[in-house]
Structure 1
């Protein structure tokens, strides 16, 4: 798309999204484009539009194509950053969260373009809005309803990321979710999206992150970062991955590393999570819990555990959709062009469902 056409259909919210993607401030964009920072602000709120020449410079400055700024593309999620579920607000600044959130919007952009060529699963997500004072029983009911609607097995849920994707939730592992953010999610448009960090070798912790974000999507239609919702999402994740009816029967009444290691492998959760669950369900006392944690810390440190699980679960929906589109002649170069994004961005978002080299005989 030519700059003249893009300028005629210019969307300020798409400029803000491009700026967040690039990790730039208003002033930094203004300096690169050689206009005042007030002009950039006016563009973003929709009060004025850039000339074709300025728009071309905006595209270069933010690393996207001119067509990215056009208003008839997918609308940016209405509640934006404030409608997104982040963890502690102390771990990263607003600029870091804005950059991460922008990538979740790019995931939605890529999915929309893919759906021009292939069909993705329709979202299936039961909603159980919880009040701030909701207790354990309500969290258990919400997790049980999800299990019922998704027809999950009566026991370990298996590949959790695959379950999210089968039920129409977009999942991506991106480096932008690292450095204090870990994971985040939102459901503000046609599809829910979950972003997981890319650098976690801890499969158990990563699965818990996915379950935590699923808890937000099910229980919290309105985001309240840093509030009671975080504890509720933790509680939901525990109920989903370690349902009380099973855990009350199988958790050891005393600390037995071998028994906990076997449960870790069977249920796909960390020994630390199992110990905390045992304490929460009063299978062990607070004193026994503290002793077990001290033993684990003394033997293995605070950040490592024995008997690691396999590699973290990898999303496959977008990568598989890309492969299907490619078989129809719609390669990743064309997808990137239709998204008006750099090829590397689309590759990072789509990912690879199995990065291991293929052995042929």
Structure 2
């Protein structure tokens, strides 16, 4: 059986390899007994592959080998998506390819679930065409970003108050989010837009509560302001990051509600603001300057104070404020299983990419699927009749 040759889904093989960040030579070496040319032939569909070699490759790539024998469903086409927006730093092509494939797998899970579940539809404000054209070319006017942030809050029914759980609010309004571990240490979050589907990953290795919230708001800014950018389009990376940062600031700290809470610009008073609004001192100081509550010199002195106290990398309350989370995908899976739509094994089979990868991409606990796999035990004791 293992020596039997089969035709595989070459696109899935290539995408799986890219998702691990391997070159063809690296994959051949890790699988053992294969050459770069052999991997190339498999990916170009020039030759069939033995089940034995397919199993070796699948083990290295951490996919069920059957995955490569099935037709593609719900695969993202990179030509029809936005660029991946990375918060904090640029990444090389190889890293970007890894995360595109993670989005591809996340998208596939979502589309499989969407066959059975009526997920929230994407709810975002419409941009003025002229403002968008100018914004994408030269950067958005800050006043217009203020307007769009305010419209988003109104559309989502958030008012001018602090947002209790931004994670839940974004999911509730049609934006798919997951927290994943990533080895790329320079990135807090990243997002991708494909048609009406907007996806965000947050790096669990980087953030605390306030950092995660700013990253979410930053990616929301990209989704609203930069969804029309195309993969091959040249754009000013620094400018779109500045626009997304400003959107995050004005969205999390709307001037009307935020200013009412400012009774002093003393650092101790601003720490109380941080606890209430769950935004960093650094972001609060930047917002105060933009709203003309402090001037450039005051801002500089406040940042000097933060540095002197050792608060530039870690601020007070960073560890005390609880990280936000959601049971969105757990609820979706439980809805299907508890209503006898699908057995858990059937659902994992439909996902196709393996239980471990589903757990990682949806941010589930390692024990999540185990509770469905417990078989009823035969009682040892009986009542006396």
What TM-score do you get using the length of structure 1 for normalisation?
Answer: 0.85
Greater Cα radius of gyration, structure 1 or 2: 2
Q: Aligned partners of 1:67 and 1:113: how far apart in 2?
A: 17
Task: Confirm whether residue 136 of structure 1 aligns to residue 135 of structure 2.
Answer: no
Q: Aligned partners of 1:240 and 1:180: how far apart in 2?
A: 24
Task: Confirm whether residue 185 of structure 1 aligns to residue 191 of structure 2.
Answer: yes
Q: Aligned partners of 2:148 and 2:4: how far apart in 1?
A: 51
Name 1:359's counterpart in structure 2: none
Distance 1:341 1:87, change over 3 A: same
Which of residues 268, 279, 283 in structure 2 aligns to 1:258? 268
Q: Aligned partners of 2:46 and 2:262: how far apart in 1?
A: 63
Q: How many residues align?
A: 348
RMSD: 3.0
Distance 1:4 1:139, change over 3 A: farther
Q: Aligned partners of 1:142 and 1:243: how far apart in 2?
A: 11
TM-fit CA distance, 1:3: 12
Which of residues 304, 311, 316 in structure 2 aligns to 1:306? 316
Secondary structure of the residue aligned to 1:304 is coil
Which of residues 5, 25, 28 in structure 1 aligns to 2:26? 28
Distance 1:79 1:152, change over 3 A: farther
Kept in 1: contact 2:75–2:104 (CA 8 A): no
TM-fit CA distance, 1:41: 4.1
Matching of residues 306-345 of structure 1 within 5 Å: 306-308=316-318, 310-329=321-340, 330=342, 332-345=344-357
Kept in 2: contact 1:319–1:351 (CA 8 A): no
Name 2:380's counterpart in structure 1: none
Name 2:59's counterpart in structure 1: 60
Q: Aligned partners of 2:274 and 2:176: how far apart in 1?
A: 27
Q: Aligned partners of 2:322 and 2:5: how far apart in 1?
A: 46
Kept in 2: contact 1:89–1:225 (CA 8 A): no
- Relative to structure 2, which stretch is displaced further, 186-195 or 95-104? 95-104
Kept in 2: contact 1:100–1:176 (CA 8 A): no
Distance 1:333 1:180, change over 3 A: farther
Q: Aligned partners of 1:40 and 1:82: how far apart in 2?
A: 29
Distance 1:306 1:236, change over 3 A: same
Kept in 2: contact 1:86–1:226 (CA 8 A): no
Q: Aligned partners of 1:210 and 1:220: how far apart in 2?
A: 15
TM-fit CA distance, 1:326: 2.6
Q: Deviations over 1:17-71 (max 9, x none)?
A: 2112223222112332655434534554x56464354544432331212443444
Distance 1:7 1:339, change over 3 A: farther
- Relative to structure 2, which stretch is displaced further, 211-220 or 288-297? 288-297
TM-fit CA distance, 1:225: 7.5
Secondary structure of the residue aligned to 1:155 is coil
Unpaired segments ≥5 residues, structure 1 = 356-361
Name 1:236's counterpart in structure 2: 247
Name 1:119's counterpart in structure 2: 118
Name 2:383's counterpart in structure 1: none
Name 2:216's counterpart in structure 1: 210
Distance 1:245 1:29, change over 3 A: same
Q: Aligned partners of 1:208 and 1:160: how far apart in 2?
A: 9
Secondary structure of the residue aligned to 1:79 is helix
TM-fit CA distance, 1:73: 1.0
TM-fit CA distance, 1:241: 0.5
TM-fit CA distance, 1:296: 2.0
Q: Aligned partners of 1:42 and 1:239: how far apart in 2?
A: 52
Unpaired segments ≥5 residues, structure 2 = 368-385
Q: Aligned partners of 2:88 and 2:272: how far apart in 1?
A: 32
